[in-house]
Structure 1
């Protein structure tokens, strides 16, 4: 089957997770736009030759044709964020993208948006309902799907919504045409487990043989890497930034900007936490390089009018909409175990961090593995001595 190569324009590009995945699939990055200065420096080093802009609000137009990617800000749509919704000051910047699409002389062949799954539930699904309506009014057909990056083999649980739209093509066979099905529950069985030491009151952010989703840290750029329990050695550690980059699918050192910013280490955690999984991006980029027949729709399953939307759905610019019964695992690629994945020296979780987590955990009603508490108490005692 012949493959198609597109030029890629990336808005809200961060450090290029979406665009690196597309490059690996044979597409060429033409323009990137990113507000953060340090992230723009990373982009300039990793995508030499691409035009780099610094503020989507100042763009007058978009390159015609090709693929437009936009992992737009999630702060107002995240469960852990401010929950101001799609019109919030950060996530509302998607409105600027829509305005550029409305006035484009030559629209992109494909539009790929990325955000957090909570946007499907927040305000009874107002954000996704508003966004898809805007796309339909412009003339786009669309499909979206919640996908867990664990499906692509890296030991990080990271669920994201990918929305693919086009005025020329049917997005359904690309985004919805593969489905592995639900992954079986992983038993601990001595595996390393990731958790967030900043939690402990109402949850653990617990992941067996994986880490929970990497976070960008606080608004003050304070890094917040997850902790990892290594039962074989009874250790409680945090991963190196290089392994965090690898957990996102980048090569180690992707965000190394020490020569540019002497305080860059904290910024690196923030940039990596904000990034899109490269392997997830590469999967859809490969599928966009193939020409698919028009998808034949089956029986329609209506989308709700006054409640949150399902994990996958599609709609046409002039026509039907429907929910879709697909899993969050389009494929299942060979998965690496977390303990053996780590290549760089880990750091012991500090006594202060571990002790605070332990106090919150024991005061809560959360269920947890007794062996985990024993090793956590041992760790606090050793770190405090």
Structure 2
């Protein structure tokens, strides 16, 4: 039986003992100080609506090429990145452009816990192999490669996806490090755990990604806070999040993009956030994915694009780490080798022919978080009576445990909301 508050609850990790990164404004050899630092040229594959690239832009860099298959997302990219070349299919690229940083939040449909689970050989997630071939063919590799995907890839098929990525990068002479990071660490009230992998042939990526750690916070107590959950579920899990939303998703258990719901205990309201607040929960400006001039009926497409996006504040932290002087990495503190088979850990690295697990937490930093209810700026949309009744029926028929107050407010909402 799974407790409601235990859904995706943090597991305790020991506090990482390594010293924090050096002061901002001190640049690595060959780079200038913070106010006049080297400007990276960024090429983005599987760019979506530009979460990674927007983050690098905020950190002072610029995008030269963005590749994205989805037409609606390309429309968004063309509006926000007018100086970048927009291409439509990684499979038709003959070569990667010259760039300092290559970013790729590659498709997660085959690697997601709620997706098809076909693994790294699936028709969507497997497209990353095309990117790796293009990278291998490039005479001068980018200084940095940044990959992003879902944590389930670390365990699906015994960690086959992350092993394949590590093997391919090492074959090309890259050192690499990855870390599971929760976007809540950057202050936004959305629990969003993602694996970020940083690789380089000329730099050590380990201090960039693993050199600073705030430690996972203690689990929250609900009190009177608003709570997010997936109204499309209720059989085996809820995605329950206290004072936050569960991860925004491009799809749902009903195989359609849909927002999570929010329980507002003080108002006895069950509602979903506006699309504009969903954009803000990903770190974009409200209206970032507006495609009314492209598809007047494209609201559902906006939810899919936002759900598939990379959290901008998280990616900005990574971008900033690339131009901050890092202390030497203390690899003596991490002597545990990675398993020969089976799942990979939440963080690890590969360097000089060695692969090791890392004990860092999912919170590299810890910014003061917004409360979910006070973060929302746009009117929440009451969940329909039909949707609420369906969720309630699944919940009470399941073995999940829940608060009596939550069930009472579901019933209250059914009684008061208009049928739709």
Normalising by structure 2, report the TM-score: 0.89
Q: Does 1:79 align with 2:113?
A: yes
The runs of 5 or more residues in structure 2 that have no matched partner are: 1-25, 27-32
State the partner residue of 2:10: none
* Residues 138-217 of structure 1: pairs in structure 2 closer than 5 A: 138-217=172-251
Question: Once the 2 structures are TM-superposed, how far is the Cα of residue 221 of structure 1 from its aligned partner?
Answer: 8.1
Q: Give 1:246 shift.
A: 0.3
Q: How many residues align?
A: 384
- Equivalent position of 1:113 in the other structure: 147
Match of 2:337 in 1: 302
Deviation at 1:369, TM superposition (A): 1.3
* Deviation, structure 1 residue 220: 9.7
Deviation at 1:296, TM superposition (A): 3.3
Contact 1:145 1:176 in 2 (8 A): yes
Secondary structure of the equivalent of 2:417? helix
Give the match's secondary structure for 1:86: helix
| Larger displacement relative to structure 2 (288-297 or 60-69) | 288-297
**Superposed CA offset, 1:241-296 (max 9, x none):** 00000000000000011011112111101100000000000111111122434423
The one-character-per-residue Cα deviations of 1:145-204 (angstroms, maximum 9, x if unpaired) are: 000000000000000000000011000111001100011111001000000111111111
The aligned runs of 1:131-142 (5 Å cut-off) are 131-142=165-176
Assess, with a 3 A threshold, how the Cα gap between structure 1 residues 218 and 231 changes in structure 2: closer, same or farther: closer
**2:17 aligned partner:** none
Q: Does 1:367 align with 2:411?
A: no
CA separation of 1:29/1:113 partners in 2, compared to 1, >3 Å: closer, same or farther? same
Structure 1 unpaired stretches of 5+: none
Superposed CA deviations along residues 126-150 of structure 1, whole A, max 9, x for unmatched, are 1111110111001100000000000
Alignment check: 8 A CA contact 2:175 2:205 kept:
yes
Corresponding residue for residue 383 of structure 1: 417
Alpha-carbon distance in structure 2 between the residues aligned to 1:8 and 1:327: 28
Q: Secondary structure at the match of 2:198?
A: strand
Post-superposition Cα deviations, 1:304-359, rounded to whole Å, max 9, x if no partner, equal 1121000000002x421100000000000111000011110111100111000000
Q: Match for 1:277 among 290, 294, 311?
A: 311
Aligned pair 1:100/2:134, yes or no? yes
Shift of 1:65: 3.9
Superposition pairs of residues 119-134 of structure 1, within 5 angstroms: 119-134=153-168
SS of 2:263 mapped into structure 1: strand
1:264 matched to which residue of 2? 298
